[in-house]
Amino acid sequence: MGLVDSVLAFSLIMAALASVVTLIMESFHRVLLLRAKGMEALFHQFYDGVLVSKLQLTTAEKDRICQAVLINPTRDIIINASSRIFPNRVIENLMRHTEVSTSDLLNRLYHADAFTKLKEESEDQIRKTLSSIEDQYDAYSVAMSDYFKRRARLFSLLVGIALAFAANIDGLRIFDALMNSPLIRASIIGQQDNLERQFAVIQTEQQQMSDPYQAVNQAHQLEVIHADMEKVSRQMAAISSQGLPIGWDYFPGPSIKAMVTCDASVAAKAVEKTASGINKESDNPVIWMLKVLLTGLLIGLGAPFWFDVAQKLARIKQAVKGKTTSELASDSQSQPAVNKTIDKIVAAK
């Protein structure tokens, strides 16, 4: 069970670190307005590829219609209410839509008078045109969504690698610590439900803050970004407090410090804080870089992946534990019969 527990605990550590990556990526999305820019790129492509021909629109109308579709209609009210805190330009950027449903698209096009020429057509022709617009917009949305998901996976891997190098996270060293420390394993496994709840909260906040109607009202996105960074700090502190070999107190930290301070005794006196019994790690920088790179790639697989692995391992562990219990119960029930047989043999003799 030690190996299963170690793998389970390792999965939970990777999930917790991947949650940190999720928070960092969400902050990047908000600061750089990546979702809003993606929605704008989608609509521009859709306008040029579909609307110009279907609704007989001109290129000159493009900016006006894009504004009507992509800008939150409550923008002016919120800008007036928030202008004392943030510049209007910042608020306006935050209020851009990050996604527009098909029905919302048609309604906004209608109110933007994009249907002026279409209204002159017959009812059947109008329905046919609108159905075509709907189908093609859905196709554009699916294609763009797939692109964003692929990009998010790539970003997740890159941020995971950056986090692993920044915090000196060596997955093999961590797994070694788990194999040699039942207390650390038990402590981490005992937090599985809490870690899953924390990630569920992060996902809920992501969904809420991607809604432009709530973007500024919920204590302002800039404040939320600051709160996310505080969560990152707390999460990393919580992970480090488990007694795991994470951070620059471990190789190559002491060696780097010795080079910076020109004091060889710093490296000589450095004592590893890992649990007793952990193998001394190699002082080869190339091996260290490869291990940290691998760890970053594992973190970049994402929290949902690692929580799924942890849940499956927990079920396997429970099944094995249940089987062992039933076998013990069966043995205890069969023992009296064996004793009776022995008694008969002894009595016959």
Q: What is the pTM of this model?
A: 0.74
Count of helix runs (H) and strand runs (E) in the chain: 16, 0
Query: DSSP states of 311-341 as a string?
Result: HHHHHHHHHHHHHHHHHHHHHHHHHHHHHHH
User: What single letter denotes the amino acid at residue 107?
Assistant: N
The tens place of each residue's pLDDT in the chain, 349 residues long, gives: 689 999 999 999 999 999 999 988 888 887 777 877 888 888 888 888 888 888 878 777 787 888 778 775 544 444 444 444 444 444 445 445 566 788 888 888 887 777 887 878 888 888 898 899 999 999 988 888 888 889 889 999 999 999 999 999 999 999 999 999 999 999 999 999 999 998 888 887 776 655 544 444 444 555 666 677 787 778 788 887 888 999 998 888 777 776 766 655 544 444 444 434 444 555 688 999 999 999 999 999 999 999 999 999 999 888 887 765 555 555 555 455 545 544 554 455 5
* DSSP category for residue 167: T
Residue 195 and residue 98: Cα distance in Å, rounded?
A: 29
Yes or no: say if 16 and 195 are a contact pair by the CB < 8 Å rule.
yes
Give the HSE-up count for residue 103: Cα atoms under 13 Å, Cβ half-sphere: 0
